[in-house]
Homo-oligomer: A and B are copies of this chain.
Amino acid sequence: MNKAISTTQAVEMIPDGASLMIGGFMGVGSPRRIIEELVRQGRKHLTVIANDSARPDVAIGKLIDAKAVDRLIASHIGTNPETQRQMIAGELKVDLCPQGSLAERIRSGGAGLGGALTPTGFGTVAAEGKTVIQVDGKDFLLEKPLTADFALLGARRADYRGNLDYSLTARNFNPIMALAGKIVIAEPNEIVPVGVIPPDVVITPHVLVDYMIERRQTNGR
């Protein structure tokens, strides 16, 4: 099966109001072409689960600029004043979650676990409303699993079948979101023949990837 589609086709699958996990960290490793197409097609009322909202006009920041997001679940918004402005104005609901807990919540959702038991945040405002579970006398917060309608990933390479690898710090949340999206769309920088990414080097197995964005073709120009 050929999983390659255009950004237009990819975004046409995503309805207003959808929940999206978007890989990347301050824009590094984010699926930029998909994000731009979401803005171009005027998608609205999205829930976005991501580490951060980057900066204005950068990656997820473009969705914030376009007022496409109703709710953001993230660990950090300090680098995007527009996110903070919309939050304070009541236009955007923001749920803040410690970064390591956010990662484990996504992994739990994708791995069929009931959540993560973490010591992080215990005794702080991050614990508000959360269940505390004692294990052998130590206190842990129950951080509930997260899943989303779509996971939108940036990747270095995909092979024809959809196996993915990543480059350096562009890996970040992408591999765990690949587990937790009902429909997973990858935006690789390159698409390569099967076998170019050896079995031990594949980070995200092709069975998790439903679609991938076709290469830009330059025909040598």
Say whether A184 faces chain B, with CB atoms less than 8 Å apart.
Answer: no
B-contacting residues of A (Cβ < 8 Å)? 104, 108, 112-119, 133, 135-136, 138, 140, 142, 144-145, 156, 165-168, 171, 199-201
With A114-B117, A117-B115 as given contacts, are A135 and B140 in contact (CB-CB < 8 Å)? no
29 contacts between A and B (CB under 8 A): A104-B113, A108-B117, A112-B118, A112-B119, A113-B116, A113-B117, A113-B118, A114-B117, A114-B118, A114-B119, A114-B133, A114-B135, A114-B138, A114-B140, A115-B117, A117-B117, A117-B142, A133-B133, A135-B144, A135-B145, A136-B144, A156-B200, A165-B200, A166-B200, A167-B200, A168-B200, A171-B200, A200-B201, A201-B201
Rounded to whole Å, the gap between the CB of A141 and the closest CB of chain B is 9
**A165: chain B residues within 8 A (beta carbon):** 200
**A171: chain B residues within 8 A (beta carbon):** 200
Rounded to whole Å, the gap between the CB of A213 and the closest CB of chain B is 21
**A166: chain B residues within 8 A (beta carbon):** 200
A140 touches B113 (CB 8 A): yes
**Residue in A115, A138, A144 whose Cβ sees the most chain B Cβ within 10 Å:** A115
